[in-house]
Amino acid sequence: MIVNFIFFIILVISIIVIKRNKKKYMKYPDKLKNIVDQFNKFDKNKTVVKNEGHVFGLPVIQNSNKLNLKSLNNILEINYKEKYAVIEGSVYVKDLLDILIKKNWIIEIPPDMVHLTFSGLIAGIGGGSTSYKHGFLHETLLSMDVLTSNGDIVSCSREENSDLFYSVPNSLGTLGYITKMKLKIKEGKPFVKVVYERFKDPVKYFDKLDEYCGDESIDFLDGTIFSENNLVLVIGYFASFIPKDHKLFNKTNIYWKELKREDNNIQYFSLYDYCWRWDPDMYYTTMETPEWTRNGNIRKFVPKSLLQSTKYRYVAKLIGFEHGAPDCNDVFIPMKRSAEFFDWFKKEYKLYPIYICPVRCKENFTLWGECYYCDFGLGYGVNLDKRPENIDERLEEQIIKYSGRKLLYAPISCSEDLFWKLLDVDSAKYYQLKDKYDKDKRFLSLYEKIKRRDEKNKKN
């Protein structure tokens, strides 16, 4: 009990300590000048990378030039009439949504973790429970400014410098870094009604998920698989009011525990709480933390601003509860073959829970094309006591077998030739773009950035 109390005290003190003072507002052109000046002073014999690592998997590249883009954190314009927002690249999604949600507006694809920046979601691909309808966030882009390796800021859109516009998504900063973007926003409603449907048969589960992806009346759609015979679909609808016989989801609720309750069939959320329902517990991470983190009576007295994944990560790192996430992957399988893939998964991998999110992309970008996938979110806050032998390689084999994909925030084990096959991208086209926008090779290539490194052979 004393240990748990100390954990709580450290949490509160740490949050107070790490709060940053807001810098005075600097105009976007002045920020760009500082960034370009910084870039031009770098040692040209060293790789240039952003000065922040990735939450999961990819290592920080040592002995490199660290590009600081944190100052690009302002929202420049929100136009409700024409339904767009203009923001700097390092703006956190939550910062824009906090403003929009107050007016019952959202971005077209709201993600569900507060640590994500817009540039990160474009460069690394990001989606959410509206992806079955709108695809990934990059499909909602109208234009971008990109810092290329020669120190130029290039404005691009579908009409202007379109080759760069279409190639930045999923490039992980290997072609350039986003400094500003214009993207679509849309009107919502103050509440979300969520209906839970439970299945014991995986085939019926994936068939119903496929069916719902064609239902225009649905506003949000995702799910969770707790075991091979406990599968839940989460169907969301915008709502203008809450019926008298229903209560709102609140901060004392642990969302994954709510999903497991078989008597829970309908739930209402404020638009804000729906968007961030997963975040306070980092999906399923509280399964591995002290019991009090799942105690609603204690959470009553914790300010909502402290119940965020970013705060948890910081404190967890301090006291040794950090999640290593060796299994954290987003694996995309064609919807029609999802039940087949899951049949392999339940026999060979058996890592639960799985976050399920359907995705339908309608536009071809260079590194991610038109598609209709089911995203299997693996290892979200959960580790296996004993990982199956060679599971990383075996998983990659299954992705290729089923003509699937994976997100690139986690390292990859295969050869470069197999990597491009896994990505289903013509490597020659990518390297042509590298020659154009990174002719001096100051950025890593995509494969160099994500290939798995052991401790003895990390790239310096």
Q: What is the pLDDT of residue 19?
A: 46
The stretches in the chain having pLDDT less than 70 are 1-24, 52-60, 316, 319-325, 453-460
Residue 328 counted as domain residue: no
Is residue 249 included in any domain, yes or no? no
Asked if residue 93 belongs to a domain, the reply is yes
Long-range contacts of 297-302 (CB under 8 A, 24+ apart): 297/252, 298/8, 299/251, 299/252, 300/251, 300/252, 302/251
Residue 143 token pair:
């234009």
pLDDT of residue 322: 64
pLDDT score recorded for residue 164: 97
Q: How confident is the model at residue 308, as a pLDDT?
A: 82
The whole-number pLDDT of residue 7 equals 57
- Residues 208 and 210: their CA atoms lie apart, in Å, by 5
Of 114, 172, 177, which Cα lies nearest the Cα of 409? 172
pLDDT at 13: 54
d(CA 117, CA 114): 8
Q: Sheet holding 191-199: strands in order across?
A: 266-270, 191-199, 230-239, 220-227, 354-361, 371-378, 329-334, 405-406
Distance CA(96)–CA(85), nearest Å, equals 9
Number of structural domains found in the chain: 1
Query: Could you tell me if residue 154 is inside a domain?
Result: yes
> What is the residue-averaged pLDDT of the chain?
88
Answer for the pair 166, 176: CB distance below 8 angstroms, yes or no.
no
CA distance 297 to 329: 33
Domain that holds residue 95: 29-187
Asked whether residue 80 is domain-assigned, the answer is yes
**What is the pLDDT, as a whole number, of residue 4?**
54
Specify the CATH number for the domain of residue 84.
Answer: 3.30.465.10
With respect to residue 19, please indicate whether it lies within any of the assigned structural domains.
Answer: no
Query: Is residue 35 in a domain?
Result: yes
pTM of the complete model: 0.89
Q: Which residue has the tokens 């290039």?
A: 154
The verdict on residue 79 lying in a domain is: yes
Q: Determine if the peptide bond prior to 169 is cis (ω within 30°).
A: no
C-beta separation of 285 from 379 below 8 A: no
What pLDDT score does 78 carry? 98
